[in-house]
């Protein structure tokens, strides 16, 4: 009997590939282990075994695997099942899911290696100088990397030499797989045995009486040793003694100290548990009871709790119960809400049982969290992470919390898999017969709909913790204010007065402006021209800080212009406004106060976001201006006033979810006001103060918003009544994109009739010189999702076979947000 394995490769291939293995290998190998396999002409890839079996492939000859990379499975059976669900639901390949699911370090990369041909006949006199050098080196060591050949010959282009040697059949190029993950080894210092006695110690200090620095190190070592029994790291000792590593080295050389190494987790917690008890108030008690009761019958529950009502405390209690049962818990958050504030809060209660999985972590840190979850054994932990944490190798998962479940950032946009972590979490939980709790102050219509129709359980918290009142919301009609000349820049007299009062009280202020940059566009008052990006169909944005015009899509930028680029008039001005302009105006209005700004431009880098939050918490900033980054679950103690600079550009966004989103955003920013004793105040500036959404925000009327928006969704055939699949076509050729879109739309219309919308140009139809066109498919509730997708897939397969459209890429997005 022959033996085979089916392999998932980290590539966008529709199928698994079958490789042959020996009988012994078949006894050893299991699904979930990694193997290196040859693929294509000369590549070697890391693949995951999906199945070990005896069925020879019908259409091709199975090649043997190259190498076994694991002794035990790295990927669990549940993960494989989950990957396959994601691939089929979100219409992508298992290989794409694999890429998203595993830290890069697990997917080994291949690199070219030069080796001597075994039976090579080498006639030295026929070799050129550089060829000789390479051959000589290879006679001394069995292989060289391309990089090493470059160093050897001291030049960058070594391929010609290698090509000559290959032509002479002297060397071969092969691919070798190497492991990238490196465990972190920390250097520790201890005293050499010779000096351990009291006498020896005194003698040592005497000896060093002239070497001040070295003596300092030794003294510090003793005082550390006296304080605790923990090993002393080289870094710690250096820092304490204020010396460099060379001082330490010379002490090691003198045999006074010894170095040793310990392999450590990068993600370890050595703080203390500072919180032992959670005492619920009556509302939390009731909501907690509702959740537990709903879990008796249903697998998912929605917790609708106003901002600062104590939802997080309820999560903590539920997580604690699950950990006590010996199961793991997953706490999912939108990336941006994953702050040290929250991590500290969890660690204060659960100590080292908290694992954090963050996309800003280094690859090695992610590998460690992965291993930690995989090997949890009898020490289950709670993992807190953003959307990709659903791909961790859980063993015994008991609970998933999806906090801020309404957030669109749970959906991955690019690349595939374009999954929604909230929805996928429900499926994942079901694999483990675990429960899912979704929480939000402003639930998505979809989740609220599911709760209203008894698909999900439901619990509510309608009061803030500690009887703090919900903030008072006031709407300011800025059209009226403009007419009466009561505007200073973008500030109404009302807003300015409230800001002044808050500052006088020593309180902090948050101002929300949903656009970054200084002002979106520069416009000529003579001819109306505004500078455009040459690569994208958008106007360039003015950034005062760098005095540039920039494209937010491709990064193109030019210097700020003094004259119109079309008619050369110097009568040009900026239209619209962003965070930067608000910041500038504030600096002029309140020169004695510190103004901070939080948007994509100021939060770059690993700790950029953290830094601004910490500065604000430490009262180093009086007024913080920001985009929607400000809305996410932050708990600031000293903020009582929140201003929304302009509600209208949220409401006017061309998207069927714009109204729901605006409601959520405004209520969430409003929620940052008055979280402690004093009642907070929120001012919303708008040109349309009577807009129903603004009215609903001002009265905290979620139910009203839900009812009205749901009716619209029903009328216009949108979720939750219809499911959506969006196809985006793109290519560098405008007419090819158009023709291809027409072809696909027509094929779809033949089957799905009026439920196909488009093809249509998106609001920005050209990005980086690629032309985009969209087609939307609406799927009624009574139509089989599986069948619909398989029809769509067939259409796409036929499309891909048309050579004229080869340059057009089709991106499929299931449940776009």
**Contact with ligand ADP (CB under 6 A): which of 270, 279, 433, 618?**
279
Please give the helix or strand (H or E) that residue 597 lies within, else none. strand 595-598
Closest CA to 414 of 8, 811, 809: 811
Residue 566 binds what, of Zn ion, ligand ADP, none (CB under 5 to 8 Å, by partner type)?
Answer: Zn ion
244 close to 238: Cβ distance less than 8 angstroms: yes
Among 526, 532, 548, 614, binds Zn ion (CB under 5 A): 526
**8 A C-beta contact, residue 508 and residue 638:** yes
Interface with Zn ion (CB under 5 A), residue total 15
- What are the Cα distances from residue 29, in Å, to 44, 162, 178, 356? 19, 37, 20, 31
Element (DSSP H or E) covering residue 370: helix 363-374
Pairing between strand 809-814 and 491-492?
unpaired
Span of 275-283, 430-438, 469-477, 643-651 interacting with ligand ADP by CB under 6 A: 275-283
Q: Is 181 in the site for ligand ADP (CB under 6 A)?
A: no
DSSP string, 547-590: TEEE-TTT--EEEPPSS-TTT--S-EEEES--HHHHHHHHHHH-
Per CB under 5 A, 241 contacts Zn ion: no
664 binds ligand ADP (CB under 6 A): no
* Contact window for Zn ion (CB under 5 A) among 168-176, 258-266, 561-569, 752-760: 561-569
CB nearer ligand ADP, residue 304 or residue 381: 304
Q: Which of 342, 426, 536, 665 binds Zn ion (CB under 5 A)?
A: 536
Q: Is 280 in the site for ligand ADP (CB under 6 A)?
A: yes
- For ligand ADP, the closer of residues 94 and 404 by Cβ is 404
Which positions from 446 to 465 touch ligand ADP by CB under 6 A, shown as an x/- string?
-------------------x
For the annotated binding site for Zn(2+), the residues are 524, 527, 533, 536, 551, 554, 564, 567
Regarding 282 and contact with ligand ADP (CB under 6 A), the answer is no
Residues of this chain, 285-324, that bind Zn ion according to CB under 5 A: none
- Known binding-site residue numbers: 524, 527, 533, 536, 551, 554, 564, 567
Segment interacting with Zn ion, rule: CB under 5 A, options 107-115, 504-512, 550-558, 650-658: 550-558
Q: According to the binding rule CB under 6 A, does residue 631 interact with ligand ADP?
A: no
Q: Does 284 bind ligand ADP (CB under 6 A)?
A: yes
The item of Zn ion, ligand ADP, none sharing an interface with residue 283, based on CB under 5 to 8 Å by kind, is none
CB 621, CB 651: distance < 8 Å: no
Q: Looking at beta carbons only, is 594 or 678 nearer to ligand ADP?
A: 678
680 binds ligand ADP (CB under 6 A): no
For 765, phi then psi, to 5°, come to: -90, -5
Residue pair 112/174 in contact by the 8 Å Cβ criterion:
yes
Q: Quick check: 283 binds ligand ADP (CB under 6 A)?
A: no
Q: Does 522 bind Zn ion (CB under 5 A)?
A: no
CB of 439 to ligand ADP, least distance (A): 7
Q: 350, 469 in Cβ contact below 8 A?
A: no
E strand or H helix that includes residue 296 = helix 282-297
Strand ranges, E, within 312-388: 328-332, 354-357, 382-385
Whole-number Å distance between alpha carbons of 240 and 228: 15
Q: Which of residues 286-305 bind ligand ADP (CB under 6 A)?
A: 305
Cβ proximity of 234 and 259 under 8 Å = yes
Burial of 395 (0-12, 13-18, 19+ CB in 10 A): middle
Could you tell me which residues come within 8 angstroms of residue 385 by beta carbon, excluding any fewer than 6 positions away? 330, 331, 332, 333, 338, 356, 357, 358, 392
Q: Where are the beta strands (DSSP E) in 281-396?
A: 300-305, 328-332, 354-357, 382-385
Picked from Zn ion, ligand ADP, none, the partner binding residue 556 (CB below 5 to 8 A depending on kind) is Zn ion
Does 313 sit near ligand ADP (CB under 6 A)?
yes
**Residues of the shown chain interacting with ligand ADP in the complex, contacts defined by CB under 6 A:** 278-281, 284, 305, 307-313, 465, 635
- List contacts with Zn ion (CB under 5 A): 524, 526-527, 529, 533, 535-536, 551, 553-554, 556, 564, 566-567, 569
């Amino acid at each position: 009997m022959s033996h085979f394995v089916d392999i998932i490769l980290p590539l966008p291939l529709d199928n698994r590939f079958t490789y042959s293995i020996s009988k012994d290998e078949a006894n050893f190998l299991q699904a979930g282990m990694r193997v290196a396999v040859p693929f294509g002409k000369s590549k070697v890839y890391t693949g995951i075994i999906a199945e070990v079996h005896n069925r020879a492939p019908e259409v091709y000859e199975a090649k043997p695997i190259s190498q076994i990379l694991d002794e035990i499975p790295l990927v669990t059976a549940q993960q494989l099942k989950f990957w396959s669900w994601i691939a089929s639901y979100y219409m992508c390949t298992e290989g794409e899911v694999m890429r998203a699911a595993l830290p890069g370090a697990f997917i080994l990369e291949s690199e070219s290696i030069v080796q001597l041909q075994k039976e090579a006949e080498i006639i030295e006199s026929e070799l050129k100088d550089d060829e000789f050098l390479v051959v000589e080196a290879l006679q001394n060591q069995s292989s060289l990397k391309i990089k090493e050949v470059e160093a050897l010959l001291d030049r960058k282009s070594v391929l010609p030499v290698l090509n000559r040697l290959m032509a002479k059949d002297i060397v071969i190029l092969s691919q070798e797989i190497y492991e990238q993950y490196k465990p972190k080894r920390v250097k520790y210092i201890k005293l050499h045995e010779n000096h351990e006695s009291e006498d020896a110690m005194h003698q040592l200090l005497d000896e060093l009486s002239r070497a001040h620095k070295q003596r300092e190190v030794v003294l510090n070592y003793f005082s550390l040793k006296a304080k605790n029994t923990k090993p002393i790291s080289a870094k710690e000792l250096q820092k304490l003694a204020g010396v460099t590593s060379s001082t330490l080295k010379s002490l090691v050389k003198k045999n006074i100290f010894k170095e040793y190494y310990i392999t450590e987790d990068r993600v370890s917690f050595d703080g203390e548990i500072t919180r032992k008890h959670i005492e619920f108030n009556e509302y939390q008690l009731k909501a907690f009871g509702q959740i537990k009761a709903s879990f008796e019958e249903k697998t998912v529950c929605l917790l609708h709790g106003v901002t600062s009502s104590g939802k997080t405390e309820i999560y903590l209690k539920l997580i604690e119960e699950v950990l006590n049962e010996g199961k793991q818990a997953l706490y999912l958050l939108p990336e941006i809400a994953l702050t040290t504030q929250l991590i500290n809060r969890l660690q204060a209660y659960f100590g080292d049982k908290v694992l954090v999985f963050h996309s800003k972590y280094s690859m090695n840190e992610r590998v460690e969290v992965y291993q930690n979850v995989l090997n949890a054994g009898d020490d289950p932990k709670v993992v807190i992470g953003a959307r990709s944490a659903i791909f961790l190798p859980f063993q015994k998962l008991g609970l998933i919390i999806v906090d801020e479940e309404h957030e669109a950032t749970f959906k991955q946009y690019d690349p595939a898999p374009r999954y929604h972590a909230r929805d996928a979490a429900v499926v994942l939980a079901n694999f483990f017969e675990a429960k899912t709790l979704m929480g939000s102050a402003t639930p998505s219509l979809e989740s609220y709909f599911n709760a209203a129709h008894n698909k999900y359980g439901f619990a509510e918290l309608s009061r803030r913790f500690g009887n703090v009142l919900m903030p008072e919301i006031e709407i300011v009609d800025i059209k009226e204010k403009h007419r009466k000349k009561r505007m200073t820049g973008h500030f109404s007299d009302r807003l300015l007065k409230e800001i002044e009062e808050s500052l006088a009280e020593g309180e902090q202020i948050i101002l929300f402006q949903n656009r970054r940059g200084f002002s979106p566009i520069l416009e000529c008052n003579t001819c109306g021209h505004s500078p455009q990006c040459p690569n994208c169909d958008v106007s360039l944005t003015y950034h005062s800080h760098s005095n540039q015009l920039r494209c937010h899509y491709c990064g193109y930028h030019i210097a700020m212009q003094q004259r119109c680029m079309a008619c050369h008039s110097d009568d040009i001005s900026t239209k619209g406004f962003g965070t930067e302009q608000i910041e500038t105006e504030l600096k002029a209005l309140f020169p004695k106060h510190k103004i901070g700004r939080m948007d994509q431009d100021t939060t770059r880098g690993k700790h950029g976001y953290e830094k601004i939050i910490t500065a604000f918490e430490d009262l180093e900033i009086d007024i913080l201006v920001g985009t929607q980054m400000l809305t996410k679950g932050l708990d600031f103690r000293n903020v009582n006033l929140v201003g929304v600079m302009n509600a209208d550009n949220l409401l006017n966004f061309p998207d069927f979810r714009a109204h729901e989103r605006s409601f959520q955003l405004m209520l969430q920013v409003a929620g940052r006001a008055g979280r402690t004793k004093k009642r907070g105040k929120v001012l919303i500036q708008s040109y349309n103060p009577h807009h129903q959404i603004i009215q609903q925000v001002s009265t905290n009327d979620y139910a009203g918003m839900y009812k009205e928006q749901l009716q619209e969704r029903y009328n216009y055939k949108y979720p939750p009544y219809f499911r959506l699949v969006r196809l985006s076509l793109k290519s560098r050729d405008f007419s090819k994109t158009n023709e291809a879109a027409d072809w696909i739309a027509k094929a779809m219309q033949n089957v799905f009739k009026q439920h196909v919308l488009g093809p249509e140009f998106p609001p920005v139809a050209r990005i980086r010189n690629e032309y985009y066109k969209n087609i939307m498919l609406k799927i009624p509730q009574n139509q089989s999702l599986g069948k619909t997708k398989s029809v769509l897939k067939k259409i796409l397969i036929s499309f891909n076979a048309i050579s004229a459209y080869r340059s057009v890429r089709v991106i499929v997005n299931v449940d776009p947000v």
